[in-house]
Chain A
């Protein structure tokens, strides 16, 4: 009603203004003006009536809609310390869980529907969303790999959900110092015949152990020297492609063979000169439980791709082959599993890279590390690095690191690391690195 009044007032004022520029013969004009005003009044009355009718109709509609739905959402049930009913929230409407939601880390059981009726429950299908922050600080001296003294090294956003009864999707978007990047984004077909586990999308290649790990599950603040020198550093072998993995059944141990084909571009490691320069990765993984508390995990990896050609040259289709062996020993006593554990790992990498047509460099490297959890929230670890690089000739860069990690909860950790590296072509580096990592939201469980 207030709107109508305003409209009337403003039109009257406007009408008065229109009437202003008629100064002479006021007496005659008064009559005309009065008629005009009467006309206006009649028009306003008609408008008012019209609006009134419309408003009444609207109000009626609203009332009808309110009658159809509960006036207010049902109050949430009290903490059911004393509940004995079979279903948790009988007073509230519930939504069906989407099939597969729980396996993907989604909810299970009947879900309360807030706000009832129309459109409710649609949030149930939202993917699990999490953000993991990785804050890194470094002090000390390193000419080869000088990190920023303080940086939000990476923020990883993950979106994970079941697509349909046949597949699930996982996206990991990385916001780093250099910009935004899809770190991984792939579709996994969980129920293909023939026992084939198939992934399609952009993913980290199954080359060894470290290459498959996201930053936040590494046991260190950095990646081993051999990864930096020979396997593409932090980005690693990571590309758009297709992956197929199959279990090879045998009576003795777990054996899985993985074959992957990628477009052929992985940082400075692989670069496709044309469409045929694909990258191929093969991985064979064996696993055996030694006892209930300890197990051995070992793998053989192979990668073949096109090496980046020298600058300004014609595409030369230079080839690069990488071979890797990895071994992981884990010990975790079942009954004290939250207090004590040990993981020992090692990876050995041999490469054969064509630096010019028919001229090959064969740098190689390795690391071994051990991490011992000595209390529920504390882990101490050490790593030994030894690796050649494309420019180091027959000599090796060598290094070592000592790491201490404190985890206040499952969702955050603080880590300090001392790192020493003796470079062949640069002064030795001595650094102290520290890291804060924190996770919010629902992040899917990591594969073993």
Chain B
């Protein structure tokens, strides 16, 4: 900058210099104003919707019921995917980076893939223990909590109990309540809105559950076999009895000896239903079905497991219709 040759005026500044300083000051102020305006705009847009990411589509559906249009929900796993074996793709890191609330199934369902994603998310809000991290299992009723000495000879057991607890509508209500409380905590201004939606969801779910129970009431005690231990909560709520599994142990693929034993047991107890999650190979279940005359049903344990199941209500609608239809057809309930 070339200094302007001039006589020093008041306070050592010429009139021109003073004007220049004033102009610079004004420019700075304008800049500050523009930046502030941007920041306010940014925070306002952030205020409009809370970014919620869930590990599964079931939790996403429940969160959507409670959060309504005040939140944007996305699930990491797809419903037709085995939730134990999701890949920790870097694209999920991008999602988690901007997440305000992360809701997980817990009970070590996501242990193989979620921790590295959270760790690399660079998002302090969703680190376990932080305010934006919600383990939905903490208020749910959990079955099959193992006791005694655990070893991996038992297969891929979950030391903290069966994580497929969302397949009981009562747990759906508990999870919704926990999500409602968490959303209210993060957005206190919308508490009333969330409360109202939570109440609405719970009463609709109560009504639906009554209907589902009535649908299955005539077939209470029907014995079934499932591929993986995905349905204990479902069976308990709706009065089905799980007698065996296609997997010899959790996470271990079927073996010939176990399959033979299962076939004999199914014949002995006259079991006519095999439920298979959409992500398992149906070859062994089909062979068992041929041998025992049992029907093999592809039964989605999650929202999105089949195309028609687009939300939490439709999940039970679909599964219960499927089971009831099959029992009627085979006469297994009698």
Contact = CB atoms under 8 A, between A and B. Distances in A.
Interface of A: 76-86, 88-89, 98-105, 107-110, 162, 165, 168, 188, 190-192, 195-197, 247, 254, 256, 285, 287-289, 292, 295, 297, 330, 332, 334-339, 376-377, 409-411, 440, 444-448
A409 B152 contact: yes
B215 interface: no
A100 B81 contact: no
Interface string B70-85: 0000000010111001
B137 A81 contact: no
Given A100-B129, A448-B90, 6 more contacts: A88-B160, A99-B128, A102-B115, A191-B123, A247-B94, A445-B88
Contact of B146 (A79, A256, A336): A79
Contacts of A86: 139-141, 174
A410 B251 contact: yes
Contacts of A196: 122
B96 to A, nearest CB: 11
B37 interface: no
B32 interface: no
B80 A197 contact: no
A377 B155 CA distance: 15
Q: Which 6 A-B pairs have the closest CB atoms?
A: A99-B129, A191-B124, A103-B128, A287-B90, A254-B90, A100-B128
Given A168-B119, A190-B122, A254-B93, A109 B253 contact: no
Interface stretch (B3-11, B106-114, B180-188, B218-226): B106-114
Contacts of B278: 335
A109 B97 contact: no
B90 to A, nearest CB: 4
Contact of B120 (A197, A377, A411): A197
Nearest to B77: A334
Given A101-B128, A103-B119, A108-B160, A84 B91 contact: no
B27 interface: no
Contacts of A295: 89, 91
Contact of A81 (B78, B107, B143): B143
B322 interface: no
Contact of A337 (B116, B144, B279): B279
B208 interface: no
Interface residues of B, number: 63
A107 B160 contact: yes
Contact of B107 (A105, A108, A191, A330): A108
B135 interface: yes
B130 interface: yes
B118 interface: yes
Contacts of A192: 122
Interface in B126-142: 127-130, 133, 135, 137-142
A246 to B, nearest CB: 8
B111 to A, nearest CB: 6
Nearest to A246: B122
Nearest to B116: A447
B227 to A, nearest CB: 12
Given A86-B174, A247-B122, A377-B253, A289 B91 contact: yes
Nearest to A168: B119
A156 B135 CA distance: 31
Contacts of B127: 100, 103, 165, 190-191
A110 B120 CA distance: 26
Nearest to A297: B90
Nearest to B106: A108
Among A84, A102, A295, A337, residue most surrounded by chain B Cβ atoms (within 10 Å) = A102
B199 to A, nearest CB: 19
B116 A190 contact: no
B87 A448 contact: yes
A89 B119 contact: no
A101 B160 CA distance: 14
